[in-house]
Structure 1
Amino acid sequence: MPVSTAPGTKWGNWTELEGTVHAEPSAALNSDNRVQAFVRGEDGSLWTIWETRARGWSAWLRHEGARIAGAPSAIRGRDGRIRVFYRTPDHHLEVVAQTAVNTVFGPPQRIVTNVGGDPAATLDADGRIHVFFRGTDGALWYTRNQNLAYATYSGPASLGGALTETPSPALDGSGRIVVAVRGEGDTLHAVQQKAADSADAWDAFQRRAEGVTSRPSAIVDAASRVQIFYRGADGAAWRAGQGDDYEGWGSPASLGGAIADRPTACLGQDGRVNVLAKGTDGKLWVTVQSAGNGAAYDEFQSLGGEIGEVGANPVIMNRVGLLYVFTQGSGEGRGLWLQRQNWA
């Protein structure tokens, strides 16, 4: 059976990008449509590799002074510059930012002291970056841009709750951020802004699912409704979706499969959500919505590969609608591998 993909595209061969990967990678799209990946290397530094304009890949570059303890979170701001947030070995939150669009990064900037977990960033409706993380008290905390210059950040603020994994934020079609978290007792909770751009006004946490055995992944579908994916207690991939009014939520639904880590997801160029996960066989598997904005998904199909112990695989779409998936390879090398779509 051919692997499900968007009409006019196909999944290509695996590409070895070398390097060493010691936590889940992160990726962002430069303003000129070149994908750039960021990893924690063997030496505990933040490293990066990027597409060249000839569609090859650069040599690896170490960010001087950026010492990282967990997984980075990369995002391109409304100003066109990529920023990478990370937790330091002494448990502070820092960021490195491009000094100009499509170019090099400046020195690290410390924005929060004493954090309890890795960051996850998203944009507000007006383009301000919000960064969410688990506090030392186990609650959900955040910091945000103070203005549209994107250079300064607010003091940390707590949203409460009790997290056991890194949070997953997404901006829905009503202009409000939704943050999905795995809570105590393997539960899925979500918290939402009260109104678009209401930076410090949030609704209460709501429980959305039980039997959650991974960090959730939150994205938006073609209708800009938040879809949250996670590994269930039965080892399958599961989904909890926002309603048409961006307020209510449907019942959790299984996508099937036998997965070993958290599923990741991205909206494809044909308007269907692609969900990817490491299977229990160590390979990369994909399922795709049967129709845009539909509740049904096709059966999982294998994309091959040999994924390492860092089992989650971030996926990103470039400007022409091709998906890129980054994984840690198996074995002692711990290199970065890429599976991407090509034109058919």
Structure 2
Amino acid sequence: MQAEVQAERRWSGWEDLGGAVTAGPAVSSWSANRLDVFVRGTDSAVWHKWWNGVSWSGWESLGGNIIDNPAAVSWGPDRIDLFGRGTNNHLWHKWWNGSSWSGWEDLGGVITAGPAVSSWAANRLDVFVKGADNHLWHKWWNGSSWSGWEDLGGVIIDNPAAVSWGPGRIDVFGEGTDNHLWHKWWNGSSWSGWEDLGGVITAGPAVSSWAANRLDVFVKGADNHLWHKWWNGSSWSGWEDLGGVFLHNPAAVSRGPDRIDVFVEGTDNDLWHKRWS
């Protein structure tokens, strides 16, 4: 029976969600059948659109003035943490507490691309950015205070991507200067080195996880198509061409077992959506 269910799963076509997008999107999910998507609008503010399980909302302005893509994560029901690169090249933070949005909080730093964020526990946040030295830098919230900045090395182009598939676990991805996909992970006690996953990518990647030890990575290829590579718990797949033609980095989230939602900015500057279900 499980094999039959698995066989029925497939990728949808592309759905046009409109809007006027000027950087790669971000997406988070705080429950099954809930999606919150964030984009940079033509006014450089962050705009928000959500799926409530039945229909898509209109667009809501969350203000701010950001450069590059935003980043978002949900660490619990009805909680969202949103990050962006400000015009001062600092990291900025805004959050939804279940009833209202906070203002924007300046977390400092000198960042040179859109950020990435993951969460491996309630009230835990791990944020990753590209620094002025092109290294990957890390800052985290431990439930009561923000850390300083940790240099994780490497030399990356464009925004990183990050996801947590279990307590104390983080997987981070970036585009190297060779245009390959590179991978680094935290196992709960130490950081790995950098792993070269190949490919020819032309923007920052996206990553999601729908189960322990499962990773789905998405990139923009040299043909501007969406390409997909996954870790099944023991080995990496080859590259799968998911088509489309888009700008900037994709965004991806998993809101349940064997479910993935991917978003991109189309060449028409609309938000486009594709799902695995």
Smaller-chain TM-score range?
Answer: 0.7 to 0.9
8 Å Cα contact 1:27/1:37 also seen in 2: yes
The structure with higher relative contact order (CA 8 Å, sep 6+) is: 2
Shift of 1:158: 0.8
Retained in 2: the 8 A contact 1:45–1:67? yes
SS in 2 for 1:161: coil
Q: Is the 8 A contact 2:89 2:112 kept in 1?
A: yes
Say which SS state the counterpart of residue 253 (structure 2) adopts.
strand
Specify which of 134, 139, 152 is matched with residue 130 of structure 2: 134
More strand per residue: 2
Q: How far 1:15 sits from its partner (Å)? A: 5.0
Residues 1:336 and 2:268 aligned together: no
Contact 2:213 2:232 in 1 (8 A): no
Q: Distance in 2 between matches of 1:160 and 1:12?
A: 38
Question: CA–CA distance in 2 between the matches of 1:137 and 1:164?
Answer: 11
2:12 & 2:125 partners in 1: Cα distance?
33
Task: Say whether residues 1:207 and 2:195 are aligned partners.
Answer: yes
- TM-score in terms of structure 2 length: 0.79
Structure 2 counterpart of 1:191: 184
- Relative to structure 1, is the Cα distance of residues 6 and 85 closer, same or farther in structure 2, using a 3 angstrom cutoff? farther
Paired position in structure 1 for 2:175: 182
Q: Distance in 2 between matches of 1:336 and 1:235?
A: 15
- 1:305-344 alignment to 2 at 5 Å? 307=245, 309-310=246-247, 312-318=249-255, 323-331=260-268, 334-339=269-274
CA RMSD in angstroms, aligned pairs only: 3.5
2:87 is matched with 89
> Cα distance, 1:106 vs. partner?
1.1
Asked if the contact 1:25/1:38 (under 8 Å) is kept, the reply is yes
Distance 2:216 2:161 in 1: 11
Gaps of 5+ in 1: 245-249, 258-276, 284-306
Aligned to 2:162: 169
Shift, 1:123, TM fit: 1.3
CA contact (8 A) 2:33 2:52 kept: no
The size of the alignment, in residue pairs, is 271
Output the CA distance in 2 between the equivalents of 1:311 and 1:164. 12
Amino acid at match of 1:179: V
Change (3 A) 1:176 1:28: closer
Which of 111, 127, 151 is the aligned partner of 1:115? 111
Q: Label 1:26 to 1:312 Cα distance change in 2 as closer, same or farther (>3 A).
A: same
- 1:243 and 1:109, CA in 2 relative to 1: closer, same or farther beyond 3 A? same
Structure 2: distance between partners of 1:63 and 1:104: 11
Distance 1:44 1:15 in 2: 24
Query: Is the contact made by 1:190 and 1:206 (CA closer than 8 Å) also made in structure 2?
Result: yes
Residue identity over aligned pairs, in percent, reads 27
* Residue 239 of structure 2, aligned match among 243, 250, 255: 255
**What letter corresponds to residue 202 of structure 1 in structure 2?**
W
Aligned residue runs from structure 1 range 251-330, under 5 A:
254-257=238-241, 277=242, 279=243, 283=244, 307=245, 309-310=246-247, 312-318=249-255, 323-330=260-267
